Structure 1
Amino acid sequence: MEKHLFPKNFFYRHSQFVAPDLIGCYLIKKNNENDRVKGVIVETEAYSQEEEACHGYRKRTESNKSLFGKPGTFYIYKSYGIHHCLNIVTDKENFASGVLIRAVFISKKNERLASGPGLVTKTFGVDISFNSLEVINNNSLWISQSDLNLEKKDLIQTTRIGISKAKNIKWRWYLKNSRSVSKRLKGDRTPKFK
């Protein structure tokens, strides 16, 4: 079972620093001994209680309390009561800061299979039962460190999607050469199929 462990303090940083560093990492879900789904994270968004788009902006509630939890745990919520969204808690406890996994590329599958937050959780079979689970210390859903050696020039940094407040903050990153990104920056053309 491949688990490339992150440096001890990797998730104990502000979401705006963790989010780009998660691009290229692997999201892995083990369904049983013979069945697992593995993909490369190609798009992320950062949120923090300092800005209005964050679920923890106003206060801690029953539904967002895991976002205030231990860095390096999952925060899962239902968007518009329809689909689940997978987030990783970052920074420090009692401070709402997290990274939304927006898109994942899965080799040998349709490149658009997990190109959006709801499609990620649908494809990986993620629901509220994974809420508050540790990102690396479990055997059902985890993130493994990247071996892709990406550089800053490989990423596009732009504004977040689908929010009505704090829309101008550039806290979304995606892998420029990926065809699995949910929405590209205007003028950034989808790379040709190799």
Structure 2
Amino acid sequence: MSKDFPALPHAFFCRPAEEVAPALVGCRLVKRQSDGSLLWGVIVETEAYSQEEPACHGYRRRSPQNETLFGEPGRFYVYVSYGIHHCVNVVTDRSDWANGVLLRAVAMPGKAERIAAGPGLLSRHFEISRRHDNSSACGENELWLAPRPSVLNIPELVTTTRIGISQAQDLPWRWYLKASRSVSRRAKGDRMPAISQASIPTLECKR
């Protein structure tokens, strides 16, 4: 953990995923690298998943592969999608109930604006793998989640349906930062903002 990037408290995650997901937009994903430097970015897109709906990994059964999702809130759940891409989630709500938030996109200051626009790209750039599964997101390890900076205290969000799934597609459980150019996919009719219109130029990525 770092004084510039204090970790979100455990209590932050002890709420249903559909409450935590929009609250995470604008927060920071932080990783302490082997040389001690910090790699970080602003979370600009999230999705919520819950056991009662069929798109959730825990909908059908509990298994060794999804055990973390049924565990303690405030821990990372990392899985491999299509045998290729790692996807990072944070567990929410309560133990013994599959509930979590997928981190879909991060904006990284000083880097290409879409370098982490999508779950696979995000995990690749932060070098997140299955070894991070079940690790705490609350500052106890090399990877954690930090609060929104004050400039992003009340961000303007877009609420829309989830993408990349074949079931429960109508649930409006995806949120993204409207002013960000680093979102993986915008809602229909929502145009990409011009560079000059970026709401937080010091936090948004450079081209």
| TM-score bracket, shorter-length normalisation | over 0.9
Q: CA deviation at 1:7?
A: 4.7
Q: Cα deviation per residue 1:44-69 (whole Å; 9 max; x = unaligned)?
A: 00000010000000110110000001
**Structure with more strand by fraction:** 1
Deviations 1:115-171 (A, max 9, x none): 00000000000000000000013231111011234436x000000010000000000
TM-score normalised per structure 2: 0.90
Aligned pair partner of 1:167 in 162, 166, 169: 169
Deviation of 1:38 after TM superposition, in Å, equals 0.6
Provide the C-alpha distance between the structure 2 equivalents of 1:8 and 1:75, rounded to a whole number of angstroms: 15
Q: Which residue of 1 aligns with 2:159?
A: 157
Corresponding residue number in structure 2 for 1:113: 115
How far 1:8 sits from its partner (Å)?
Answer: 4.7
Secondary structure of the residue aligned to 1:10 is helix
| CA RMSD of superposed structures (Å) | 1.2
Letter in 2 for 1:191: P
Give distance in 1, aligned partners of 2:80 and 2:162.
18
Contact 2:44 2:176 in 1 (8 A): yes
Structure 1 letter corresponding to 2:37? D
| Correspondence 1:62-73 to 2 at 5 A | 62-73=64-75
Is the counterpart of residue 96 in structure 1 residue 80 in structure 2?
no
Are the equivalent residues in 1 in contact too, given 2:10–2:74 (CA < 8 A)? no
Q: Is the Cα contact below 8 Å between 2:25 and 2:43 reproduced in 1?
A: yes
Question: Is the 2:6–2:139 Cα contact (8 Å) retained in structure 1?
Answer: no
Unaligned runs of 5+ in 2: 197-207
Question: What does 1:21-60 correspond to in 2, within 5 Å?
Answer: 21-60=23-62
Identity of aligned residues (%): 50
CA offset digits 1:13-46 (Å, max 9, x no partner): 0000000000000101111234331100000000
**One-letter identity of the residue aligned with 1:178:** S
1:79 aligned partner: 81
Output the TM-score relative to the length of structure 1.
Answer: 0.96
2:100 alignment partner, SS class: strand
Unaligned segments of structure 1, at least 5 residues = none
The SS at the match of 2:105 is strand
SS in 1 for 2:23: helix
Equivalent residue letter for 1:6: L
User: How many aligned residue pairs are there?
Assistant: 193
Residues 189, 150 of structure 1: CA spacing in aligned structure 2 closer, same or farther, 3 A cutoff?
A: farther
Q: 2: CA distance between counterparts of 1:8 and 1:109? A: 30
